[in-house]
Amino acid sequence: MDRRFETLRVEDRDDGLLLLTLDRPEVANAMNTQMGRDLLALFDEVNAVPAQQRCIVLTGAGERAFCAGGDLKERNGMTDEAWQDQHLLFERMVRAFAGCPVPVIGAVNGAAYAGGCELALLCDFIYAVDTARFALTEVTLGIMPGAGGTQNLPRAVGERRAKEIILTGRPFTAAEAYEWGMVNRLCMPGRVVGEALETGRQIADNAPIAVRQAKHAIHFGLQTDLASAMMFEIEAYNRMVPTADRREGVAAFIEKRKPRFTGR
């Protein structure tokens, strides 16, 4: 992917691995209207041709913040109509992000507040620097999470914990997020992006159709009853039986070599 964006940096790390950076460090990578447009355009592009990418690592520019949430300076003085128009753009971006068939790893390098915390929660899993802090502060501003926070946080930490976090607006530490199951790994300062990229490379080296189908089965299976989810899993599994990658994987195992997956 070689597109340039005003508020994002997209770096191709070869063989389908992308490093995506929220790039407004002067305002703690706060999400303005243009960042909403840029993220929507990027995920629409990935979703339209998912075979071109194998894994995405999402982080923030600088060492201070992953994303401070919505840009309140831009929102100050907005009419109700303008606010809702902007939020509709963010809603479209969230749907595109949530629907991405390619795995997305969050590399949270600093504060992830409000909409920034919601962006992290949209990732398939999260690595965080051990000094990071999280919060969903919307109720302290007279609004509520509106980018998936009331849905994704309970699925990560449980209903009762999520209610406490959202209804108080209190910040919590990376260590707490790890203890509660929201964060997969705590990293030393300066290591979070590197460790996320290492894991991203492992994912990108696996059979891409298999990875996408497994992600799909996990995500949608958890939203239905077990019997239906098991049927969904088999439908996803059967998609891979006639692929060249399935044959290559078995051949490589027998021949004791690394497989060369092509996504076919």
Q: Are 8 and 56 in contact (CB under 8 A)?
A: no
Q: How would DSSP label each residue in 10-53?
A: EEE-STTEEEEEE--GGGTT-B-HHHHHHHHHHHHHHHHSGGG-
- Angle, vertex CA 144, rays to CA 142 and CA 148, nearest 5: 160
DSSP string for 153-195: HHHHH-HHHHHHHHHH---EEHHHHHHTTS-SEEE-TT-HHHH
Q: Is 248 a catalytic residue?
A: no
**Active-site residue (options: 118, 176, 179, 195):** 118
In one-letter notation, the amino acid at residue 60 is G
CA nearest neighbour of 103 among 133, 84, 126: 126
Catalytic residue among 11, 138, 233, 248: 138
Pairing of strands 172-173, 133-135: antiparallel
**3-state class (DSSP) for residue 106:** strand
In the residue annotation, 138 being an active-site residue is answered as: yes
Query: What are the residue numbers of the active site?
Result: 118, 138
